[in-house]
Amino acid sequence: MSTETKSSSRERLLEAAATLTYREGVNIGIDALCKAAGVSKRSMYQLFGSKDDLLAAALGERSAAFVATLLPAADDGRSPRERILHVFSQVEADAGSPEFHGCRYLAVQIELKDQSHPASRVAHQVKANLTAFFRAEAEQGGAGDPDLLARQLILVFDGASARAGIRADTLTGLVAPTVTTLLEAAGVR
């Protein structure tokens, strides 16, 4: 098998794993993943070793795009308050899409339950990085307790993503005022 074919098979498997597990959950079968990617099970095991490793790699591959669409640029000149609100406006915009099923990283952690699973570790790191972003912005914005505010913001983020993902609620007119109330109570400028 040529390097080009291996690369192509690898990319197709990553795409299939990311798409199918987001839409249908992490319990999607290997046969379905391989069929969607047009790759044999043998090739999948040669490339990734296990479905767990494939899922972790797919989540890792998607994390850069998740961060790029969610977080503002590092030097965008906005206040910490505006930067935090930007994250929630992105979630609100994404939640309006019919393809939105909530935060893929939260879903993986809920579905797997095993914190030592390779995919759960990737998801945990992505969520920890988002919490760290909230904490850094809260501190820079003058929050009295940046750790507490970061935890509150990730709670709102996860709750909003989950409720919008299952179509239990819409975020329009709900998430921004909620976050604004938290920011005001914390004294974030």
Is 5 a residue whose pLDDT tops 70? no
* Residues contacting residue 67 through CB under 8 Å, at least 6 positions apart: 126, 129
Distance of CA 89 to the CA centre of its chain: 15
Task: State the CATH class of domain 52-186.
Answer: mainly alpha
Task: State the CATH class of domain 1-49.
Answer: mainly alpha
Fold equal for 1-49 and 52-186: no
Residues 82-129 have pLDDT tens digits of 999 999 999 999 999 999 999 999 999 999 999 999 999 999 999 999
What are the structural domain ranges in the chain?
1-49, 52-186
pTM: 0.92
User: For 77, which DSSP code?
Assistant: -
d(CA 46, CA 48): 6
For the chain, state the CA radius of gyration: 18
Is 37 a residue whose pLDDT tops 80? yes
Residues 135-187 have pLDDT tens digits of 999 999 999 999 999 999 999 999 999 999 999 999 999 999 999 999 999 99
